[in-house]
Amino acid sequence: MQTRLLATLLAGALTCGCTTTQTSNTARTATEQLLISNAVDRALDKVDFSAFRGRNVYLEEKYIDCVDKNYVIASLRHRLLANGATLVAAADAAQVVVEARSGGVGTSSSESFLGTPEVVLPGMLTIPEVRLMTRTRQEGAAKIGLVAYDSTTKQVLGPGGQSLAQSDNNLWYAAGVGPFRSGSLKEDVQRSTTGRAAWSRETLPHYVAFNPLPPAATDEPSRIQITGAEQPQLAPAPPASAPEETAAGAAEVEWAQPQ
């Protein structure tokens, strides 16, 4: 009995399993996209749009040519609307034209480590690389320029200017253990996913259902057809040119007198 139990335990200890899970990533990582969008938000946070309150504003966007340009344009529109401006679709209908331009929107990365690099000695001897501490840093930067002018007189409204901001994400590894994250991206993610910012304001149902359209309203009163009963005949309406009848019931007609 004991021999059989030991054999079973030994067979279980020598048995191993293997599981493979297939995963895929998007062409652009979420970290890259967040670094760019956070840099754009930080750059626009430094711009005061209150001067356009109560004005019809046309946003000229043809000078914005960069990655994620739709986010840059939509963020500018959002800031203008939030400060009380009315956006119009054409410059002719605007009081103020705001021209935006992109000076640089993108990411860059670098890597550094503390340790010894790989050393190749004469012959077949090679000393491998040893990394005690490693840091991988990725930065996102956004430079956006703005100028505004009167759509009628073409006079510039103030000097305008340019706003530059960046965001960063640092990954630290200690003796192969990690990553330990730091940087402005970590702070923004924590601020947006913890505390009151993480509360759900409204959720959609976990099923799909629709209500039918209500019946179309008609000017004619509804008529009900009773089975087996004859519908009454409605008298036709008199023509618009029919002469009015007198109290005696005869039609008054004016006859043309001969000359």
Residue 199 pLDDT grade (very low, low, confident, very high; cuts 50, 70, 90): confident
pLDDT: is 128 or 102 the higher one? 102
- What is the rounded average pLDDT of the residues 215-229? 60
Q: Is the pLDDT of residue 115 over 60?
A: yes
- Report yes or no on 105 lying in a domain: yes
- What is the rounded average pLDDT of the residues 91-119? 94
Average pLDDT of the residues of the chain = 84
pLDDT score of 223: 58
- Report yes or no on 136 lying in a domain: yes
Measured CA to CA, the distance from residue 87 to residue 56 in angstroms comes to 6
Residue 252 pLDDT grade (very low, low, confident, very high; cuts 50, 70, 90): very low
- What is the rounded average pLDDT of the residues 212-227? 67
CATH number of domain containing 46: 3.40.50
Beta strands 86-87; 56-60: pairing state: parallel
Q: Name, in order, each residue with C-beta under 8 angstroms of 189's C-beta and a sequence gap of 6 or more.
A: 34
pLDDT score of 41: 96
- What is the rounded average pLDDT of the residues 232-246? 54
- Report yes or no on 14 lying in a domain: no
Q: How many domains does the chain have?
A: 1
pLDDT: is 15 or 184 the higher one? 184
- Report yes or no on 41 lying in a domain: yes
Expressed as residue numbers, the domain containing 142 is 28-119+128-194
- Report yes or no on 16 lying in a domain: no
- Report yes or no on 80 lying in a domain: yes
pLDDT score of 249: 46
- Report yes or no on 259 lying in a domain: no
Q: Which of 9-23, 47-61, 98-112 has the lowest mean pLDDT?
A: 9-23
Q: What are phi and psi of 91, to 5 degrees?
A: -70, -30
Q: Is the pLDDT of residue 222 over 80?
A: no
Q: Is the pLDDT of residue 247 over 50?
A: no
Residue 251 pLDDT grade (very low, low, confident, very high; cuts 50, 70, 90): very low
pLDDT digits (tens, 9 = 90+) for 140-185: 999 999 999 999 999 999 999 999 999 999 999 998 898 999 999 9
pLDDT score of 188: 92
pLDDT digits (tens, 9 = 90+) for 25-83: 899 999 999 999 999 999 999 999 999 999 999 999 999 999 999 999 999 999 999 99
Token pair of 206 as six digits: 């976990």
Measured CA to CA, the distance from residue 105 to residue 75 in angstroms comes to 14
pLDDT score of 21: 81
Vertex 62: Cα angle to 58 and 65 (nearest 5):
135
- Report yes or no on 236 lying in a domain: no
Sign of the alpha-carbon dihedral angle for 93, 97, 99, 100: negative
